[in-house]
Every structure is written in C-alpha cells, then in structure tokens.
C-alpha cells in the first residue's frame, strides 16, 4: 500500500510540474506578441536628470526627453530652457544643481563653465540666422533677402531680438546687423537698426518673442532657422556673408563684435562673430552623473539624439568636435569616436 502511495505521489508531482510549465509557456507566448523595448527592459537607472539648455533646443530636447524616459522609465528628466548664458550663470552665479548644460554657442561653455564647473565641450550641432515673420507682419509680401534693411527701417515696423547678455541669439542678431552694413555697403545701418528698435522688443531668450510675432505685436524677429521651421513660421533667408552659418565666411564674420557681461561683476567678454555651433557638457559635480552620461550617449549618437536634431531642421556637426576630450568619461569617448 505504501509502495502504491509513492507511485501516486510521483504521478501527482509530474502532473503538477507539467501544469506549471504549461502556464509559464502560455504566458511567454502571450508576451512574445508584445513589443519590448530593450533599453526599457534592461535599464537600472533611477532618479532625476537636470538639464539646462538653450531655448532653441526646446523642441528637439522635448522629443529626446520622451524617448529617453521610455528607454529608462526610472529616470525623470527635468529640463529648464533659457538663454544659453543664463543657463551657464544658473550654475556659476546661482549655484543651482545641474547635470548637463547645452548651449547655442559652444563659446559660452568655454568662457563661463570651463575650467571651474566643466572640463570638456562637445560641439554637436549648427544653425543659421534668419528673419522670421507672420501673416500679420507689415510688408510681408514685399520683404526679401536684399531689401530687408529698408523694410525694417520703415515707419511703424516693429522688430526685435533676444537679450545679448542672456542669449547668444541676441548678440548674433547684432552681429547680423554689423555684417549686413558691410555686405550691403550701408555704413550707418547698424546704428539705425539699433536706435529704431525699442527696449520692449528685447526679451531674455529668442523663444520668448515667438508669441509676439504670431500675434502681430512684433513684425519681424531675428532668430535661428531651426526655430522658425519647428514652429512652421515663414522667414527671410539671409546671405551667407550675414547669416553666421558658412565656414567659408569665418574670416568675414570676425569683424562683427559685441560686448557682453563676463563671469564677474564689471567684467566684459567681447563676443566675436563666428559660424553658429552648439555645445554640450557634463557639469563637474553633477548630482545625477550616471543618468547624465547615459543621456549624453543618447544625444551624441547619430541614430538617436543627432537624428532627432536633423529631423527638427537643425544640421549636426559631423564629425563631432570634442574640446578637452581627454577629460571626457570613457564611455562617452567610445560614442564620439
């Protein structure tokens, strides 16, 4: 009788194992039909990621944030958009914690963050200056790449730009005016444009002025081409001698200079005209360094972040240029090559 009980017990055990295995197999089969994101399934990253970035990067970085959080659901990306110089000064002057700073002018990182707050600078994207307008803009059907100085100086025409002390787009707008004076051979053009533009048409960052253009409060705005395209707004293209995008015009651009505030009170930094190149860096005391490095790997990968930049109308720097590469984390150097 005992022998029979052992046989029955063994039989029950085999049946139970088969049942459990069958259930597991069914579950696996069900799951095999569901898309699984490899990064999402394997990521162990948690916590925050704090990014201060140029306002002109808002659209592509918003997309990157969403895709990065899908890959790393334990990470909460927290972005603050501002003028690039303001972004840097949040770190240097206000002592705000940050992991990454991305600037519309790589020189902001060189001049304000390195060496005390950062060690390297990845030059990753380019842009060009244009004059954006809307359906409400005066003389919108008349303005073009040749006559825009005359149109802007007409009575009643309102135009603006961002604050040169807060945002590179602001001092680049002033450089455009200086270069235009040389290119069009209008000696007093800069002075006339500067005098006619009221202080109310200057805001901390270029994206602050978008709503004014869209509503008709502002007729024309000096802004990056990528921003105009991302917001589906019409714009006037500027000649390469003026738009700060052409490497072949680098020497010509150098004659345009704008003084801005420096690191210390009373200090002045003279910004010199050069082709527009964006930079990004890791802050030395980044509170979420592992998350920051992973995001930078995403940003600087051609099939991820850099593709998002191109998809949003912003050319990339190819190949990437890394200043201070020896100080860059090894896992990032593997990506940037």
Task: Confirm whether 58 is domain-assigned.
Answer: yes
Task: Please state, in angstroms and as integers, the Cα–Cα distance from residue 243 to each residue in 43, 91, 162, 216, 249, following that order.
Answer: 43, 30, 16, 24, 10
Nearest alpha-carbon partner for 202 in 231, 236, 171, 230: 171
42 falls in which pLDDT band (50, 70, 90)?
A: low
In terms of C-beta density within 10 A (0-12 exposed, 13-18 middle, 19 or more buried), how is residue 78 classed? Answer: middle
Quick one: average pLDDT of 29-37?
A: 38
Quick one: average pLDDT of 188-209?
A: 94
Task: Confirm whether 16 is domain-assigned.
Answer: no
Q: Within this chain, do residues 133 and 161 fall inside the same structural domain, yes or no?
A: yes
* pLDDT, greater one: 111 or 18: 111
Quick one: average pLDDT of 147-156?
A: 98
Question: What residues make up the domain containing 80?
Answer: 45-126+277-336
Tell me: pLDDT of 28 over 70: no
Kindly report the number of other CB atoms within 10 A of residue 155's CB atom: 6
For the chain, what percent of residues have pLDDT higher than 70? 88
Q: Within this chain, do residues 315 and 202 fall inside the same structural domain, yes or no?
A: no
| Distance of alpha carbon 238 from the chain centroid | 22
Tell me: pLDDT of 214 over 80: yes
Please identify, among 233, 261, 289, the residue that sits at the C-terminal boundary of a domain. Answer: 261
d(CA 54, CA 102): 6
Tell me: pLDDT of 15 over 80: no
Q: Within this chain, do residues 245 and 199 fall inside the same structural domain, yes or no?
A: yes
Tell me: pLDDT of 137 over 50: yes
Task: Confirm whether 283 is domain-assigned.
Answer: yes
d(CA 124, CA 279): 6
Please identify, among 210, 235, 261, the residue that sits at the C-terminal boundary of a domain. Answer: 261
Q: Where are the beta strands (DSSP E) in 83-219?
A: 100-103, 121-126, 129-132, 159-162, 202-203
The whole model's pTM is what?
0.84
208 falls in which pLDDT band (50, 70, 90)?
A: confident
Q: Specify the CATH number for the domain of residue 150.
A: 3.40.190.10
Q: Within this chain, do residues 79 and 110 fall inside the same structural domain, yes or no?
A: yes
d(CA 120, CA 137): 43
Q: Render pLDDT for 103-119 as a digit per residue (tens, 0 to 9).
A: 999 999 999 999 999 99
Task: Confirm whether 24 is domain-assigned.
Answer: no
Q: Within this chain, do residues 186 and 291 fall inside the same structural domain, yes or no?
A: no
Q: How many helices (H) and strands (E) does the chain have?
A: 14, 13
Quick one: average pLDDT of 68-77?
A: 98
Please identify, among 227, 261, 295, the residue that sits at the C-terminal boundary of a domain. Answer: 261
Q: Within this chain, do residues 94 and 143 fall inside the same structural domain, yes or no?
A: no
Q: Render pLDDT for 165-184 as a digit per residue (tens, 0 to 9).
A: 999 999 999 999 999 999 99
Task: Please state, in angstroms and as integers, the Cα–Cα distance from residue 38 to each residue in 70, 71, 140, 258, 303, following that order.
Answer: 10, 8, 50, 48, 16
Q: Render pLDDT for 230-250 as a digit per residue (tens, 0 to 9).
A: 999 999 999 999 999 999 999
Q: What is the mean pLDDT of the chain?
A: 90
- Which of 65-74, 129-138, 328-337 comes out lowest in average pLDDT? 328-337
pLDDT at 129 (0 to 100): 98
pLDDT at 337 (0 to 100): 72
Q: Within this chain, do residues 118 and 135 fall inside the same structural domain, yes or no?
A: no
Quick one: average pLDDT of 49-54?
A: 98
Q: Render pLDDT for 275-318 as a digit per residue (tens, 0 to 9).
A: 999 999 999 999 999 999 999 999 999 999 999 999 999 999 99
Task: Confirm whether 272 is domain-assigned.
Answer: no
Quick one: average pLDDT of 61-83?
A: 98
Q: Within this chain, do residues 134 and 74 fall inside the same structural domain, yes or no?
A: no
Among all chains, which residue has been given the structure tokens 């059907």? 141
Q: Within this chain, do residues 223 and 297 fall inside the same structural domain, yes or no?
A: no
Q: Within this chain, do residues 163 and 227 fall inside the same structural domain, yes or no?
A: yes
DSSP string, 178-196: HHHHHHTT-TTHHHHHHHH
DSSP state of 110: I
Task: Confirm whether 195 is domain-assigned.
Answer: yes
Quick one: average pLDDT of 33-61?
A: 77
Quick one: average pLDDT of 269-280?
A: 98
Taking the C-alpha atoms of 64, 65, 68 and 74 in order, what is their torsion angle to the nearest 10 degrees?
180
pLDDT at 31 (0 to 100): 39
Q: Within this chain, do residues 171 and 231 fall inside the same structural domain, yes or no?
A: yes
d(CA 11, CA 224): 76
* Total tally of structural domains belonging to the chain: 2
Q: Within this chain, do residues 141 and 251 fall inside the same structural domain, yes or no?
A: yes
pLDDT at 8 (0 to 100): 46
Residues 255 and 179 sit within 8 Å (Cβ to Cβ): yes
């Amino acid at each position: 009788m005992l022998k029979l009980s052992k046989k029955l017990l063994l039989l029950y055990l085999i049946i139970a194992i088969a049942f459990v295995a069958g259930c597991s197999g069914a579950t696996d089969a069900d799951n095999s039909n569901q898309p699984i994101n490899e990064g999402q399934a394997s990521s162990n990253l948690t916590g925050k990621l704090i990014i201060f970035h140029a306002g002109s990067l808002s659209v592509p970085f918003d997309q990157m944030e969403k895709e990065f959080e899908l890959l790393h659901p334990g990470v909460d990306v927290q972005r603050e958009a501002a003028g690039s110089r303001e972004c840097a000064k949040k770190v240097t002057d206000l002592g705000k914690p940050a992991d990454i700073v991305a600037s519309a002018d790589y020189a902001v990182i060189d001049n304000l963050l390195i060496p005390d707050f950062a060690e390297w600078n990845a030059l990753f994207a380019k842009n060009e200056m244009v004059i954006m307008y809307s359906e409400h803009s005066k003389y919108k059907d008349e303005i073009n790449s040749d006559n825009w100085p005359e149109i802007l100086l007409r009575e009643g025409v309102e135009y603006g730009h961002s604050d040169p002390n807060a945002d590179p787009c602001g001092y680049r707008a002033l450089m455009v005016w200086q270069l235009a004076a040389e290119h069009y051979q209008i000696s007093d053009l800069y002075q006339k444009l500067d005098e006619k533009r009221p202080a109310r048409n200057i805001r901390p960052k270029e994206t602050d002025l978008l709503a004014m253009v869209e509503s008709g409060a502002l007729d024309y705005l000096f802004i990056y081409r990528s921003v105009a395209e991302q917001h589906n707004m019409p714009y006037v293209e500027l000649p390469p001698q003026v738009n700060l995008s052409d490497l072949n015009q680098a020497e010509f651009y150098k004659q345009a200079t704008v003084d801005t505030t420096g690191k210390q009170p009373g200090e002045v930094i003279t910004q010199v005209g050069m082709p527009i190149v964006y930079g990004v860096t890791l802050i030395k005391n980044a509170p979420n360094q592992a998350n920051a490095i992973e995001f930078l790997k995403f940003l600087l990968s051609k099939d991820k972040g850099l593709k998002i930049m191109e998809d949003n109308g912003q050319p990339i720097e190819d190949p990437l240029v890394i200043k201070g590469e020896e100080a860059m984390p090894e896992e990032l150097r593997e990506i940037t090559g």
